[in-house]
Structure formats: structure tokens, C-alpha cells
Amino acid sequence: MKSILIVLAPKNFRDEEYAVPRAVWEKAGANVLTMSIQKISYGKLGMTVKNDFLLEEVRAGDADAIFFVGGGGCMEYLENEKAEQLAHDFVAARKPIGAICAAPRLLLKWGILKGKKCTGWDGDNALEDLARKGGAIYEKKSVIKDGKFVTADGPDSAEECALAFWETLG
């Protein structure tokens, strides 16, 4: 059984970007776990999630893949060294990493998408510049899979993203 760790912001994560992938992966037989910097996370549209782990409790060996949910709240992790280290640990372990909506910005800031194609929410027309600064190649697409990395542009692409991410788990 494959295990996927979903990273949720403590508040203002995009409900659909969590609920849709989780349902897809559970239907496929995955063990889906959640983590955040607090025990309960609150979605932008009212969803409440009791997280399985706190950030400081998780290691890359605890799951086969990691997925960062978007929404404005995910920016809370932008300067979080533990979240950044965890993502780098998954890269070092050659495990799949996914990010949707605003969350690819985290991976770009942390240098994880260097040399990779990516997409994400670009409502402020800044993502292409952020990608260039992060050494990545931005493409205006709904979902991009580049090796073990999957990025998506937002809630409307949640199912397509979840399916592409599942493929990376082999």
C-alpha cells in the first residue's frame, strides 16, 4: 500500500485541492495522511481537518510521497525551515513531490523545481518570474508532470493533478 503525506496550511487551504486528491488516492488504495503546523487545519471554504501529524513529527521515511495543498494559507510555509527541509528530504529520497495552486511557489522558493517544468496559480502574473528566479521552466498548463514532480494550477485541476501524481508512485 502506497502512502501519501498531504501538507495542509493551518488555515485557508483550498478545500477542493485537499478533498479531491485524497478521494482519488484512497479509491486507488493509498494510505493518505495529513500534517500541518497545528493539529487542526481550516479550509477557505469551511472544511475542517484533524491532522495526523505535526510538521516536527514527520520524516521523509514516513510516506512514499508528499503533496502540498494550495490556497493562500500555504504561504505560511514559505519561510518555514522544517517544511523546506522535509521537502528536500523527499527529493533526496527520490520520492514524488506534488504541489497545486499557490503551493508550487514554496517549491520554487526552496529551489526544489530547479531545472524542472512547472505550473501553478498565476493570478498575480508573478509565477513565470518566480520560476525563472528559481531556475525552473514555467508553462501555462493545468497540470505538469516532470519526473517525480507534479504541479497544477488550481482547484479545477485537482482531479487531473491527483491522477498524474498517482502515476508517479508507479
pLDDT value, residue 69: 98
Structural domain boundaries in the chain = 3-168
Class level of CATH domain 3-168: alpha beta
Instruction: Give the pLDDT band (50/70/90) at residue 121.
Output: very high
pTM for this model (two decimals): 0.98
Residues 34/65, Cβ–Cβ less than 8 Å: no
Mean pLDDT value across the chain: 97
pLDDT in tens, 41-75: 999 999 999 999 999 999 999 999 999 999 999 99
Q: Which helix (H) or strand (E) holds 127?
A: helix 127-133
pLDDT digits (tens, 9 = 90+) for 87-116: 999 999 999 999 999 999 999 999 999 999
Extract the C-alpha cell encoding 38.
Answer: 497545528
Residue 99 CA: distances (Å) to CA of 29, 74, 116, 130: 21, 10, 13, 15
Question: Confidence band (pLDDT; 50, 70, 90) for 76?
Answer: very high
Cα distances (Å, whole numbers) of residue 132 to 48, 76, 109: 35, 22, 11
Q: How many helices (H) and strands (E) does the chain have?
A: 5, 12
